[in-house]
Amino acid sequence: MTTRRTRGLVELLLLVLSAILSVSDALADTATIVLSSPEATIQTYFDGYNLGDPRAIAATFLNPRTIEPTGLGVPRKYRIVSKKRVIESRVAARDDLEIVTLTEVQWPNGQVERMVTTFFLRSVGGEWKIVGYASEPSSD
């Protein structure tokens, strides 16, 4: 009787451990969503693309949108090259923040694409959200 009970407990323990590892694997491919600063929001945006996590990307926008699967999981390296307060713009409101990044995308076919992206961010309820952006090929 004790052996049967022990075997049952071991099987239950292995089942629970398997479930925990399964959840852990599923969470490994999700980005941490941090929107506490403009830089954190931009980091979350790029982490979402790098990890293939459309939920994280959508969370960075003031008006969430459907994220197309093209480019999800494609490695991107970026650096912020300028940051300034918006004085006047058709896209952003006064006192929004403009952040310009240089981004390098490494496509699966080996092609490397360099982009300049201008993000407009707004502080809403203690979080920084993207209110607009535009990308164009880099001349570098």
3-class secondary structure, 74: coil
110 and 130 part of one domain: yes
20 and 38 part of one domain: no
107 and 118 part of one domain: yes
Report residue 126: phi and psi, to 5°.
85, 0
Identify the pLDDT of residue 67.
83
Q: How many domains does the chain have?
A: 2
Which domain CATH number covers 105?
A: 3.10.450.50
| 9 vs 36: CA distance, rounded Å | 45
Q: What is the pLDDT of residues 6-27, one digit of tens each?
A: 666 556 444 544 444 444 344 4
Residues of the chain with pLDDT under 50: 12-14, 16-28
Nearest C-alpha neighbor of 118 from the set 106, 126, 90, 127: 90
| 104 vs 111: CA distance, rounded Å | 10
12 and 68 part of one domain: no
Identify the pLDDT of residue 140.
66
Q: Could you tell me the residue range of the domain that residue 84 belongs to?
A: 31-137
Beta bridge partners of 77: 104
Q: What is the pTM of this model?
A: 0.75
43 and 88 part of one domain: yes
